[in-house]
Amino acid sequence: MTTRIRVCHLYPDQLNIYADRGNIAVFRSRSERRGYELEVLGVGVGEVLARDCDLIYLGGGQDREQALIAPDLARRGEEISMALEDGAALLAVCGGYQLLGRGYRDRTGVEMLGAGVLPLETVAGDRRMIGDVSIECELEPDEMLTVVGFENHGGRTRLDPGAAPLGRVVHGFGNDGDSGFEGCRLGKAIGTYLHGPLLPRNPWLADWLLAQALGRRLGEVPELEPLDDELEYQAHAVALGRARERGGKFR
């Protein structure tokens, strides 16, 4: 019997401006090439999150789209936290990342209440942070790897004291351009500003998330068989080169 990975894609019609469907396509390709079936369930405003969910995904959106889904997402805080406690993994990018915190205040002072799942909050800054980024990331002990992506955000995200970032910025701005942190990690849940999309250029990160999702389904986290990632790592190298050319205060 084929093992099925169930992905709940929250607000696919609103949070989708940063090639977010590309991340879903990577999950599907890397699952099916290993003999697993990927089932993607779109979850819109007012719809119920599936109980038997292995992986939750939220993409990015502009302020207008964020405002449209924010009240519904805020009501889902307990629902999402329960799914995480049940073993689900999570990836949230840019706007989805911001709204999984306690809230977002835009440049006019309007407050959008967040889901309160991740230990952070965000306020809009005076200028956008744009460009290629590289960070150092350690999801497993003693295994430091590089993640690359593209950032384009006006928000300044501050983690709570003691909260874990996804990684430390080497080139670029990251969460706020000051702390040196990028993203947030809470167990199997990852939030990040990196898009473009994120996963095609960081296949090991896609595999880590898939392995965590399979761990919920199978009862233990499997060791996934390697794939031919020559093209993926070429793309990673190009993005890393652009980030290095950009430079940044955290080099």
Q: How far apart are CA 218 and CA 241, in angstroms?
A: 38
Q: How far apart are CA 158 and CA 121, in angstroms?
A: 6
Q: How far apart are CA 123 and CA 90, in angstroms?
A: 23
Q: Are 221 and 212 in contact (CB under 8 A)?
A: yes
Q: Catalytic annotation on 195?
A: yes
Q: Catalytic annotation on 94?
A: yes
Which distant-in-sequence residues (6+ apart) come within 8 Å of 51 by Cβ?
A: none
| Catalytic annotation, pick one of 53, 94, 137, 184 | 94
Q: How far apart are CA 167 and CA 208, in angstroms?
A: 15
Report the candidate in 47, 44, 38 with the shortest Cα–Cα distance to residue 6.
38
Q: Are 112 and 155 in contact (CB under 8 A)?
A: no
Which residues are known catalytic residues? 94, 195
